[in-house]
Amino acid sequence: MDSDRIEVHRRTSRAEGSTHSLERGGKDMELEQEQEQMTEANPLASASTPAKSTLLLKRLRRKLPPPSDTRLMWIFVALMVTMLLLGWNDGSLGPLLPFLQRYYKINYLIISLSWLCNFAGGVFSGLAYIHITDRIGFGFAAALGALVQAIGYAFMSTGGPFALFLVGSGFLGFGFGFMASQIRRNIAQVNNITSRLPNASTKMFIVQACFGLGATVSPFISTPFAQHVKRAYLYFLVAMAVALAGMVIILVTVQGRTEAQCVGHLPLKEDEKRSAGESAVLEMNDHQDKSTVQGSSAAQALEIAEDPRVLPPAAIIAVTEERSHQDPAPELTSGQKVRMMLRERATWTLMAYNFVYVGCEVGLGGYLTSFLIHERGGTAAAGYATSGYWGGLTLGRVILIPVTNKLGYQTAIYTYTAIALVLEIIIWQTRTLIGNAVCFALVGVFLGPIYPAALMVISKILPDEIRGGVMGLTGTAGGAGAAAMPFVTGALSDRFGIWILQPFTVALLGADLILWFLVPTKRIQAKRRQT
């Protein structure tokens, strides 16, 4: 009897032990599933942050529900705000330039150092872009940029030594680098996210138009300061308030979401579905008849993918989704993304193009007020012509959307650049103040759509793994152009006079036409190398 009781006790103990083991195993599986869900919500966090982290990093790894249509609309508003803040500074500086030269008793060459310091700050943020964005996400990075921008304006509003003004310019450049995607600074985040939203082409043009809107409105505030306020540098307090308001809007609307948490649940674009479907068809045929696929050319494979008799579109998408669950592509680390970007020839071509384009755009907007005053007999009120230029740029990015879509991005860029070049020659060869101001506004109209069109080309030809990073590098190159070209213009103006602005701009537009000819027109496939 005792032996039977002992045996029953042993069996009961084993059963309880097994139950505890199963419970522990179940809890472990739940934890693993939860971690996998967090990783899906923000795949970048798992590659760049440890399991034990700060409250902020844990927040970034949490799983969030797909954004509603209303939330996506507010995220889009935040993207527009970031672009408006970027344009605000570039539009306001031109009308203040004559005052700043008198106040600090400096020439064109010295005042142009502010653009170089601005670029230096942008380079620093560009180098840290991928690593910091991987850790704090788009929402907090954009808000950080607005805060740093406000700090820069605070330095500039003191009226202290010119060296302090240059420090403020450096802070502005650093802030621009994190604020998102513009035309000339490291705006990769806004451009990359916008290119993944529904109706991406139209939204990209609208977001970029907000840059021009900020640059259009700000001269209406900075010009009266230059005309009527003895300490015109106090204008930068207004700019600081605008930057702080932008920071609050970004924090409230985006709520600290990462890019994956903003758009990670959105469906693939049509060209991405097509590319994925072609890969699925090739893999299925590979299982059916390896020798046939191995012996076929790339063109034949594309014909197979396009033939509805082989596999209907719904089946293509189904096979693609099944493959994505069965054999997901390995996530690239930040370092691998950087190396992949630097290996692509298209990266360097686009950087060179953006260097020239943005340099031309910023240099023209920065010096046209001085040009009209000294070469066409204008007064301080000529600062309003800067609003005309940036207003034209804003208008062009909106009203020329259907024209751009009709022509195609590549052809549209050639056409708009050629028209702007002709208008610059007209300004160069005529001497009427009103006529020149009107032509400057028209130049803005045709320069405006070029940059968002170029961004859409980037989104179509580059692999998703490096698209955002390349947009960041091209933005940094644009920042270099925005610093170098105004600096060169200032040096040439000291040597020859401000009239040199027009022939120099014509030369830059001609160089842009040549550089765009070198940009690839077909999609580049990602080359995953072990690094």
- Is there a domain that residue 57 lies in? no
Calculate the alpha carbon distances from 266 to 42, 65, 99, 262 in Å.
14, 12, 49, 9
- Is there a domain that residue 159 lies in? yes
- Is there a domain that residue 471 lies in? yes
User: Which ranges of 105-231 does DSSP label H, i.e. alpha helix?
Assistant: 108-111, 113-156, 162-179, 188-194, 200-228
pLDDT band of 509, cuts 50, 70, 90:
very high
Greater confidence, 451 or 40? 451
Q: What is the dihedral of CA 507, 508, 510, 512, to 10 degrees?
A: 170
- Is there a domain that residue 189 lies in? yes
- Is there a domain that residue 9 lies in? no
Contacts of 238-245 with CB under 8 Å at 24 or more apart are: 239/88, 239/89, 239/92, 239/153, 240/150, 240/153, 240/154, 240/157, 242/85, 242/88, 243/85, 243/88, 243/146, 243/147, 243/149, 243/150, 243/153, 243/175, 244/146, 244/147, 244/150
- Is there a domain that residue 115 lies in? yes
Question: For the whole model, what pTM was predicted?
Answer: 0.65
Q: Element (H or E) spanning 236, and its range?
A: helix 235-254
Phi, psi (deg, nearest 5) at residue 307 = -80, 115
Q: What is the dihedral of CA 411, 203, 314, 298, to 10 degrees?
A: 30
Q: Answer yes or no: is pLDDT of 32 > 60.
A: no
Written as six digits, the tokens of 199 are 């109706």
In tens, the pLDDT along 462-497 reads: 776 677 777 777 877 887 888 888 889 988 998 899
- Is there a domain that residue 522 lies in? no
The count of structural domains within the chain is 1
Domain of residue 136, CATH code: 1.20.1250.20
239 residue type, one letter: A
In tens, the pLDDT along 236-272 reads: 999 999 889 888 888 888 777 766 666 555 444 444 4
Expressed as residue numbers, the domain containing 402 is 69-265+335-517
